Every structure is written in structure tokens, then in C-alpha cells.
Amino acid sequence: MVPSKFNIIIPSEAGDLQYTLYNTFSDSQARIGSDVLALLESGDKIEAKKNKNILAKYGDDLSELGFLVKSKRDEDKTVKDWFYQKQKDRDELLITVIPTYDCNLRCVYCFQSDLDHSQKSANISKETILRLAEWAGERMDSTHPKRLLLLLYGGEPLLRKRDILVLSALISDEARKRAVEMEIKIITNGTLLDPDFVNSLLPFGIKSVKVTIDGTRDHHDQLRIRQKGRKTFDLIINNLLKTKDKLRFTVGSNYNLENFESIPSLFDYLIEIGLRDSISNVNFRPIFQGGGGYSCDICSFSESHPSVQFWLSKEAQKRGLDSMDLLSLGPCGFHKRDAYTIDPAGKIYKCEGLVGIPGAEIGDLNTRDIEEKSSNFIDRFNWSGKCGECKYLPICGGGCRYWAYVKTGDYFGVACEQKYFDSAVKEIIPERQGFKA
């Protein structure tokens, strides 16, 4: 028996059980005293004879909860198998499409403002739409998913409503022929969301959209503005009210030290105007300095303030709103073999964070061995490096490729999240329910 390398020990309360023990792989937690702590810290190999009494008392529970494992090698293999299993899961085919890089807003922190002008004005063509629908059919024939998720992203995707309708109809047709259930989600700034458009997409499986609202009206209107500085808060709220009976919303808020305290008031306002039942969850992300704003929902937290994240999460819960689990971040969509992001020109990337990074594409809509290229790309994960040895690997998944590129210039580099996790586990774990003492 050896202690799991994914054990985290957090000093908690005075008394007999003064430590909280958490395991990032099994997601188990327990309160322990100094006797168990000494056992877990007694070295890489636990001597059965010397620890006979304490093992007799706690050994089975500690093994069952994943705090003690057979051997280091055995645990490494189990984690790799779990990771590979997640990569290979073929139930869902995820196709993210960027119909345009253009946007009708000029949010002050937008990372896409880093793209050059030719990229920004690129829109998807009719030829690419036709080929993309065919390609989606070919992917379904090859991977036999139960479910196809079509995620529309941008730029602002709703600048291309006509293209979205044509693409959704064509892909829906391909899915129907193969009895694959299809769902559409849109990530939008919300300014162009309207009931007619939503009605047209209902037959193809639209169920939800994600919109961004950065705090209360005053705060939001300083950050998320139109090209000529016009405000957007009221417009977005009206559009949500007009479509609330047809859709579920995820409301994302970007925060900095100026606006974060206003976010709970935003929750109150959304509830007051009758949107609570239409909101499936809320999430919040820091506005990064020097690297941009959005890549995907989980991405990086390394520059965030765990106590702010945690506070916002509790404020949401108090109001009956679900928020993301701050310790269930990875492995992210990048690691999934059947996840692809298609840019307006038909280039294919592993995830939306890598779009536009020179050389990060894995092919285009005519690349024959795209599955192999996808697998080769994600297989470059370095198990023998820093991440392979890290106690946070099961919840971090090695970090975001986009942020690795921003921070190291190499999208296979490491943009380490350890600082965030060190603080986050201390805040979150002792507050979670279900301790085993």
C-alpha cells in the first residue's frame, strides 16, 4: 500500500480531526486526525507491520476512498486509462463552427481583437457550408455517435443568421438520416438574439444559448460596448425576455476587481425580471491582463482570485442559481478525439482556443485522415513532465493549450494552474458537505 499521489491535506479545525483530506482523482474527502496524517506522510511505502493498528482501523476506508493505492505504478496506469477513456468516448461528436470572426461589439478586453484584419472580416462561404454539412455526415459515419452537438461561436455568430440556418438545416438532415440526436448551442453576445431566428432553429434542436453580462447595467455598459461606444445591457436583457420561453440561458460574467461585487446584484435583477427559470447556470471568469478574454468556458483560472470565484459561486447558490463546479475543470474538450472546431475558411482545429494560431490547425474539410491527426495531436500530452507528476492533474488536465501559447509561445507548453488550485482547494474543500470522519 502507498499513499495516493493525488492526496491533498488541508489543515482545518482544532480538535481530534484537524485535517481535511481530499483526493483529486477519486474526488473523495474525509476528516482525519494526526494519526492518519502520520500514516499518509510516512513515506512512499507504508510498512504494514509498523502500522498494523491504524491500518486495521482505517485501512479499508482509506483504500476504498482512493487515499491509499496498491502501488504508484498501478495508480499511474489507472489514471492514464481513465484519461484515454475520456479521450476515446464516442457518444458525442462535438462540432464547433465559427461562421464569422466579425463582431458588432468592441468589448474592451476581447482577445479576438488580436486577430489581424483579414481574419476579422472573414465569413463562412456557401461552398464551405455545403462541404461542412457533408463532412459532418462523414464524421458520423466514421464515429457512430449517439449525439451531435453543434456549437456556434464567433466573432458574433448571429451576424450570420442566414448561414447558421442553412448550415443547421443541412447538418440536421445528415443527423436525421443516421438517427443521431442533434443539439445546437450558441455562444452569443445577445444583442442580435430574436424570437423569429430562435423559432427557425427550434426544429433543428436549439435548446440553449450562452450570453455574457458583466455585472449590473453600469458595469456591463463600460465593458461590453458597440463599435461607437453605445451601451448594450438593456438590449441584451430585452432579447432574453423575448426568447425566454423557447430557450435556456447560461449567463457568463467576466469580472475584474471593479465589477465583481456587482455580479450578485445582476443575479437579483435577472430573478426580479422573471428570468430565473430560464437560466440553467451562471459562471464567471476573470478578465485577464495581457492575454485576452475568452477561449472556452473552463480555460485558465491561474490569474483569477479563488476567493472571488468561490464567493460568487456561493452568492449564486444562495439565490438558487447553479454555477460551475470550480474543481471540475478538466480534462477539457481539447483532449476529446471527436471534438473539432471549424473556422470560416474550413480549417479544422482541436478547440476554439487554438483558432487563428499559426500552425495549430489539424487540417481542413478535405483532410482524409483527420481522426488520426486529431489523435496524434492530443497524444502529445507529456506524461513524464511536470503535469504527469502533478497532484492536480485529474482536475486540471494539463492546462489550457491557448493559455500555454499565450504564456510560452508553444501550445504544447505548460500554463500552470497550480497556484490557483493550491488556493482553491483550501477554500472549497473544507466547505463541501459529506465528510467522512
Closest contact distance (angstroms) between CB of 305 and ligand SF4 is: 17
The C-alpha cell that represents 214 in the structure block: 458583466
CB 387 within 8 A of CB 381: yes
DSSP 8-state code for residue 236: H
Between 122 and 298, whose beta carbon lies closer to ligand SF4?
A: 298
Listed residue (278, 97, 88, 275) closest to 184, CA to CA: 97
Rg of the chain on CA atoms, in Å: 23
Environment class of residue 223 by beta-carbon count within 10 Å: exposed (0-12), middle (13-18) or buried (19+)? buried
| 150 three-state secondary structure | strand
Measured between its terminal Cα atoms, the distance across the chain in Å is 21
Q: What is the distance, to the nearest Å, from the Cα of residue 39 to the centroid of all Cα atoms in its chain? A: 36
C-beta closer to ligand SF4: residue 84 or 269:
84
Closest CA to 347 of 338, 335, 334, 356: 356
Cα–chain center distance at 58: 36
**Element at 296 (helix H, strand E):** none
CB 101 within 8 A of CB 120: yes
In terms of CB distance, is 236 or 329 closer to ligand SF4?
329
Q: How far is 12 from 431, CA to CA, in rounded Å?
A: 10
- Residue 323: its H or E element: none
As a whole number of angstroms, the distance between CA 22 and CA 400 comes to: 24
Residues that bind ligand SF4 (CB under 6 A): 295-296, 298-299, 332-334, 351-353, 386-387, 390, 392-393, 396, 398-402, 414, 416-418, 421
Q: Give the separation between CA 40 and CA 32, rounded to whole angstroms.
A: 10
Pairing of strands 279-286, 248-255: parallel
| Residue 143 neighbours by CB under 8 Å, 6+ apart | 90, 93, 338, 371
How many other C-beta atoms are found inside a 10 Å radius of the C-beta of residue 14? 7
